[in-house]
Chains A and B, each alone.
Chain A
């Protein structure tokens, strides 16, 4: 301001009347001032808040990543569950003789069976399904053990 006034003082024709400038100065004068301590406290609070916000952002980013990973894992699990052959009686994730054994024991002990164990699709769960599961268990897949 002073520089501007000094700059403008070089051209006396442009100077405003003193009374006007005094009135304007009074009008535009700040109504209060912030004590330095308050200012320091506010600044400290602000900094703390910013740090917390950054922490939160980091946490949110991690959480987002973990959630995506979880979704992928669950989708994979559910996907493989869906694609899991009905011969996987014991839910181990692979078809082996234990599946046939499990089904045979369920039948022998007259326990509840699940509809999806009707591997042969003939409307009932019986020894034919046990045999079908056993045959699946011993099947080689392209020369590799499944």
Chain B
């Protein structure tokens, strides 16, 4: 047989390759059934699905199973929760207060609208924030929140309205629209100083303008300039956040009010708490004006949450407010009662879904910027699969003025309960702080019955009063000599009402060492940012204790879990993936009921097996996780923003304890690239079409109520 020529061989190979490429590459995915698509869209529009069209009019293109939606949602449910995790998913929230919602009726004393006076004005008029409307849509594990603040000018002269308000500390604010009449102007995110200059110049020249800045991760300031008499201006802010998850429960929180903060003497960069109309007396850069007890501003909140997580909701509760719940097709809508619309406590919604989520897994996203991933590590489902570790418990109680009354009582009760659960191999110490710090003894005390009795007696003697020199409490707790044979746990009980968050966090970072920090937030509006950040640095967890909670359950859960960690000192071998920019840099411990989320950047392709190693009791453990960097065409566009948010948080954390780098420049670059609010970026909008006459008018701050349960007399300067 004649030997084929090179050209013939090439021709044959080419034909074979061509055929192979065509067969493999051109397969089309099946189309979804029309009926299900219609339902998906209609639900998102917020109403019941429209009656379906005659399906025979549509071409039969679907080879997809008719229950695709249920299957995809099942897939969604099987995906590790927090596929797009929040910044505080590494913070384990053990407990929330099961508060009974108590609506305030119009016949309550002092429930009439508060009237404010301008200099020279004879007539008393309402304050410039009429209402706040909040519309939340929860799909999967992400909440998209639209906040509309309705400003108006009830005075006879131009004003600038200033409103200091909270948002969740993991909120990624990505949209800002100013509405003047029928016209809607989208704001622009810029470097903070630049945005402030633009706003100041626009204000000076008489243009209507608005500026949104971030004072802390969870405190924002909204300014609206040149609101003419009787005119209204709306500001719409949109953000997304991922929900926290623990022990099968998801939680959505909308914070309503900034609690009064304590600022150490000499500080000026804090958040001051002053009486209404007493601007400037705190000496702080940012001030919140508070209403006196019995006063109301007339500023109410409306709130609705639509939850569509794709699987059936087994339980849902709002422990903080009176709400109504209605079920639509595949979604549940929760609406805040009009009788409970005073914005003086955080709104909390919890729900539990069907299905079990067990396996550790990784999600990836690729775009022009490169690869991003989230890795979710799951612990064993049962405590019996873990070992008890001997512990060294350090209890640190905030005995400042803001803790007076039921907060300190709760803290003492919770500490006492934990003390009684200590075993013979454990040791303990009790430290109190207010203006200074003191402790029960010079060294860790063995938890013998006699010593526990002494501890209880010491606890009983503690009272609330004085300032909040948390630094002293931190030094006393973390500088304590450590017993290497024991797992050291430092438990802070505080409302976190301080203004020098960065200083506190810096001290915690420098001193934490091998300690684990567990923060108990006490009160109806504790400083969640500080409390959760401390727990994050300390690779610990958080619990919140409210006025109607005994705290017993929180303490029991807390103690049981932390004495049985599933895995500590976690390290990850990334295999073939080239991984950078991993957050959190120090991976938290793995406890039963609480997954650990890690996010980062990667290059490389193909499958890889990750080795997760750590300690359980006195033994080494290893978990293998399969990862595929080529994961299909699926895109999870929230992952880059979440990664960026965590990177910004990491930079901000480092900035609290190091001055060697250009942290502000780094944060600015990341925030601008991903379009996020940060301490160094801000939203500004100017209406260049409307130039008002006269000077820029009077600045009027919007006063807010003190959080429910906080005593005005001990926390607000007059």
Contacts and interface: CB of A to CB of B under 8 A. Distances in A.
Contact of A86 (B50, B73, B635): B635
Contact of A64 (B8, B368, B635): B8
Interface string B627-639: 0000001111110
Contacts of A65: 10
Interface residues of B, number: 54
B29 A115 contact: yes
Contact of B31 (A61, A67, A113, A127): A113
Given A67-B18, A71-B21, A86-B633, A124 B10 contact: no
B34 A110 contact: yes
Given A70-B14, A122-B76, A122-B140, A60 B5 contact: yes
B214 to A, nearest CB: 22
B638 A120 contact: yes
B595 interface: no
A119 B635 CA distance: 6
Contact of B11 (A60, A127, A139): A60
B32 interface: yes
Interface in B330-381: 367-368
Given A115-B30, A115-B32, A123-B310, A107 B22 contact: no
Nearest to A76: B21
Contacts of B26: 78, 81
B142 A127 contact: no
A113 B73 contact: no
A111 B37 contact: yes
B18 A128 contact: no
Contacts of A119: 635, 637
Contacts of B17: 71, 75
Interface residues of A, number: 44
A110 B10 contact: no
Contacts of B139: 122, 124, 128
Interface in B35-50: 37-38, 40-41, 43-45, 50
A59 B14 CA distance: 15
Contacts of A121: 83, 634-637
Nearest to B137: A128
A45 interface: no
Contacts of B7: 57, 60-61, 63-64
A44 interface: no
B25 interface: yes
Given A107-B41, A114-B32, A128-B139, A120 B5 contact: no
Interface in B50-86: 50, 52-53, 58, 61-62, 64, 68-69, 72-73, 75-76, 83
Interface string A129-141: 0001000000101
Nearest to B32: A113
Interface of B: 5, 7-8, 10-11, 14-15, 17-18, 21-22, 24-26, 29-34, 37-38, 40-41, 43-45, 50, 52-53, 58, 61-62, 64, 68-69, 72-73, 75-76, 83, 139-140, 142, 144, 310, 367-368, 633-638
Which 9 pairs across A and B sit closest by C-beta, in order of nearness?
A: A67-B14, A78-B25, A64-B10, A126-B44, A64-B11, A110-B38, A124-B40, A61-B7, A123-B72
Given A60-B7, A64-B7, A64-B11, 7 more contacts: A74-B18, A75-B21, A110-B50, A112-B32, A112-B62, A115-B64, A123-B140
